Every structure is written in C-alpha cells, then in structure tokens.
Amino acid sequence: MGGETAIEQEARLIILRELHAQSNRSMTSSAVRNFLLNDFLINRSRGWVEDQFEFLAERKAVRITAAGSVKIATITPRGLEHLALQTFISGVDSPSEPVL
C-alpha cells in the first residue's frame, strides 16, 4: 500500500466520523477540507475531498448533494454500520473501537 492510499483510507474514516459527529450528519467539502487540515494536518484540495466523497458514495457510505460549487456529504446507514464495526467498507480504515 502506497503512502497516498494510506492517507486516503485514513481520511475516509475521519470523514465518516466527523459526519457522524455533526447534528445533521452532513458537511460541505470546504468544511471537511478545513477540518482535515486544522485537526489532522492533511492538506489536500477541495477537489481531493470531493473525490473521497465520491469514493464513499460509490460504496453507499455517504450521499452527495451539490450546493453551488461545493458538495455536501451526508452519512448513510451503511456508513454508520462501518463506524459501528457491523460491516466493512474496503478502502476505508476501520475504527479501533465502535464509534456508535
């Protein structure tokens, strides 16, 4: 596994965890980008974050809504199941302990 893949897998888990932490279970790509940078020092573009949203959406872990020039990701039941260690999503790190 290359370094970029490890960062992507970790970032996808971080994204799911942070979506779960939000009262509306949603965040914009800009907000996620800032969160990754400020809290985890993962400095990537908004486009990169949106690519991670797409990866998660293809695996039914999030739903994406376009809002102008940004995208909004909302965690789905499958994403919650991954956080609860009830299912495994390939390409996404698993939490060490159930989040739910």
Number of domains in the chain: 1
| Residue 93 within a domain | no
| Residue 64 within a domain | yes
The pTM score is 0.94
| Residue 47 within a domain | yes
pLDDT in tens, the chain (100 residues): 455 699 999 999 999 999 999 999 999 999 999 999 999 999 999 999 999 999 999 999 999 999 999 999 999 999 999 999 999 999 999 999 998 7
| Residue 100 within a domain | no
| Residue 91 within a domain | no
| Residue 55 within a domain | yes
Pairing of strands 70-75, 26-28: antiparallel
Q: Where residue 54 sits, what CATH number does that domain have?
A: 1.10.10.10
Structural domain range at position 68:
3-83
